[in-house]
Amino acid sequence: MGSLEDISAPAGTRAGASDEDLLRLYGAGDPAAARGLTERLAPLAYRIGMRMLGDAAEAEDIAQEAMLRLWRAAPGWQSGGAKVSTWLYRVASNLATDRLRRRRTAPLDDAPEVADDRPGALAELVEADRAAALNAALLRLPERQRQAVVLRHLEGLGNPEIAEIMEIGVEAVESLTARGRRALAAALAGRREELGYEEG
C-alpha cells in the first residue's frame, strides 16, 4: 500500500493506487479522490443492484446509497479491516436484500427482455439473449442463492471473500452456489434451441 507521499499525483493518473489509498486521500481532502473512487466502485454497487433486483432505477438508488455510506465512513476508515471493495459489496448486497424483502413478490413474468432489431447483429443478439435469459433465471432464485451466484460467477469473487460479504462460512457459500447453479441450469434447459445451442 502506498503512502500519501508516493501517490501524490492527481487521482485520475493513479492507476496503481489501491482503493484503500484513494480512500485515505479522500479522507485527507484530495479533490480528485472522490471522482476516482466513484469511477471504480459505483459501477460495482450498480451491478449488484441490477442483478439482484433487475430494475435500473432501484440499482441507481443502491449505487448512490452505498457510495453515500462510503463517503461517511471514509474519515474514520480502518485500513486493517475489510478491503474497500468487499465492504462495498456487502453494503450493496444488504441494500438489495432489504429491498427484495420489502417487495416479497417474485417477478417471474416480468424478467427483462432484450430487443435488438439492428441488422447483422445475430451473434450479439444470441449473446444478449443468453445474458437476458440468465438474468431472468437469476431473478427466480431464492435471494441468498442469487447473491452467492452473482458474486461468484458474475463478479468473479473467491469463496472466502463471498463468505465475508455474506457473513457466512465458506462451506455455506459453496452450497448456495451449487444449488443456484443447478436451479439455473434447469431453468435454462428448456431454452437451449432458443439460446443458440445445438441439440445433442
Using CB under 8 A as the criterion, which residues of the chain lie in contact with another protein when the complex forms? Answer: 4, 26-31, 33-35, 37-39, 42-43, 46-47, 50-51, 56, 59-60, 63-64, 67-68, 71-72, 74-75, 127-128, 130-131, 133-135, 153-154, 156, 181, 184-186, 188-189, 192, 195, 197, 200
Q: How far is the CB of 162 from another protein (least distance, A)?
A: 15
Q: Which is nearer to another protein, 74 or 166 (CB)?
A: 74
* Contact assessment for residue 139 and residue 131, using Cβ atoms and an 8 Å cutoff: no
User: What one-letter code names the amino acid at 113?
Assistant: E
Nearer to another protein, 124 or 167 (CB): 124
Q: How far is the CB of 101 from another protein (least distance, A)?
A: 22
DSSP string, 162-193: HHHHHTS-HHHHHHHHHHHHHHHHHHHHTTTT
Q: How far is CA 136 from the centre of its chain?
A: 16
* C-beta closer to another protein: residue 169 or 185: 185
> Which is nearer to another protein, 1 or 131 (by Cβ)?
131
> Rounded to whole angstroms, what are the CA distances from 18 to 3, 66, 91, 161?
11, 19, 19, 17
Q: Rounded to the nearest whole angstrom, what is the least distance from the CB of residue 103 to another protein in the complex? A: 19
Cβ proximity to another protein, 35 vs 83, nearer residue: 35
Q: How far is the CB of 138 from another protein (least distance, A)?
A: 8
- Output 169 or 192, the one with its CB closest to another protein: 192
Report d(CA 45, CA 54) in Å as an integer. Answer: 13
Question: What is the secondary structure of 33-87 as a DSSP string?
Answer: HHHHHHHHHHHHHHHHHHHHH--HHHHHHHHHHHHHHHHHHGGG--TTSS-HHHH
Nearest distance in Å: CB 66, another protein: 9
- Give me the least distance between CB of 27 and another protein, in Å please: 6
